[in-house]
Structure 1
């Protein structure tokens, strides 16, 4: 091998060694950087459990709607006209419209229809800046437009391991006449129509007067005495877990 070839070979070998050392050094730096990068601090949460019990004899409740919202928002106003989301829920059990209301931060739904005598719990994990107020709504599905729930309850002052319990009467959305007629009730007693945009009642929210039923002389009613209800219709508890 000539001297020129030997020198060229040595230069190439030296270059390869330098390149290898540089690569190892870069890998070492990257590993150190990865090891030195602190993991993000978990955001502490305040955890709550909302438990709803259906107290009626034969009024299944539509899937529970749990709404987290600002303190100045109300889901309904007794004596006032029902909002479109409230009308829709009270006539069909569909709560989706509340998600688009001003002041609403989140809408969580229960697993499904809540049968008479049954209980369901929904848990919430909220960061400190998310803690405000909640409302709970559900429809008595064997009615024209009855609903029940909690209206704007603050979570701010609820301390750890504390539980508060409320009772809810049945409210009438005032958007659909309580005819109890065939085809007008979405529940299993009729499997009729749900939401109807026409308002043919007093157009104000008020305490529900109750079900009459065919057994009590309302000839056109598809309901029976089993569908009648006394107040309260729901028991609702809110517990702060941590």
Structure 2
């Protein structure tokens, strides 16, 4: 009798063990159909407008970041990457120097024209846009904005901003033939030697031109600009 009872007990275990394992897998969520959550992306169109009479904007560095950046500060020396952008018009060094969530090179942007890029990041993240570009017919000028907070933009909404013009403080503003890049002049771009009257970033005083009395200048007054010549528009497109 004792052995018979043991045998019946073993049969019961073998009968119900597969059901228990199946129930355990269901309870633990065991499944081959798992799908990761979908990340909703926020997309921004950044449009640069050149409203000057004859200045050419070089390709721009456009960056989208989740934290504020420090690309330049008035009264502080320009970084080597910013110096290259402000003297040669190339955004490559500045783009490479920043670990951004998304970035792009836009341009060049002719007088009277606009240029746009699309940047995106997860919609749940803070969003700051920065950009910089060189007015080509300057020695070391650049236009730019830093850390525009676009996190609150709703789909279809836009922000419009006038863009300040800065002097990198890395090259003397002689406006001479051999120191200005660009198709109308074809002079030198980047030079590692800094020979400006100061070695720090300031607001740009504007092109003087030989019409304005700068005897070293090869530019006429049509290359002048003011602080309202360049615009930025940011639109939430997704």
Question: Shorter-chain TM-score category?
Answer: 0.7 to 0.9
Secondary structure of 2:85's match?
helix
How does 1:2-17 map onto structure 2 within 5 Å? none
Q: What TM-score do you get using the length of structure 2 for normalisation? A: 0.80
Counterpart among 74, 82, 101 of residue 78 in structure 2:
82
Query: 2:21 aligns to what?
Result: none
Counterpart among 125, 128, 131 of residue 123 in structure 2:
128
> Higher mean Cα deviation, 96-105 or 196-205?
96-105
Query: How much is the aligned-residue C-alpha RMSD, in angstroms?
Result: 1.9
Counterpart among 145, 159, 177 of residue 150 in structure 1:
145
Long gaps (5+) in structure 2: 1-31
CA separation in 1, counterparts of 2:100 and 2:39? Answer: 22
Query: 1:64 aligns to what?
Result: 60
How does 1:20-39 map onto structure 2 within 5 Å? 37=33
CA separation in 1, counterparts of 2:155 and 2:62? Answer: 20
Seen in structure 2, the aligned counterparts of structure 1 residues 85 and 213 have a Cα distance that, compared at 3 Å, is same
Query: 1:210 aligns to what?
Result: 206
CA separation in 2, counterparts of 1:103 and 1:73? Answer: 10
Question: How many residues matched?
Answer: 206
* Runs of at least 4 residues off by over 6 Å: none
Q: What TM-score do you get using the length of structure 1 for normalisation? A: 0.78
Deviation string 1:39-61 (CA, Å, 9 cap, x unpaired) is 66543211111111101111000
> Higher mean Cα deviation, 214-223 or 192-201?
214-223
Q: CA shift at 1:182, angstroms?
A: 1.3
CA separation in 1, counterparts of 2:181 and 2:69? Answer: 28
Seen in structure 2, the aligned counterparts of structure 1 residues 102 and 227 have a Cα distance that, compared at 3 Å, is closer
Greater helix proportion:
1
Secondary structure of 2:147's match?
strand
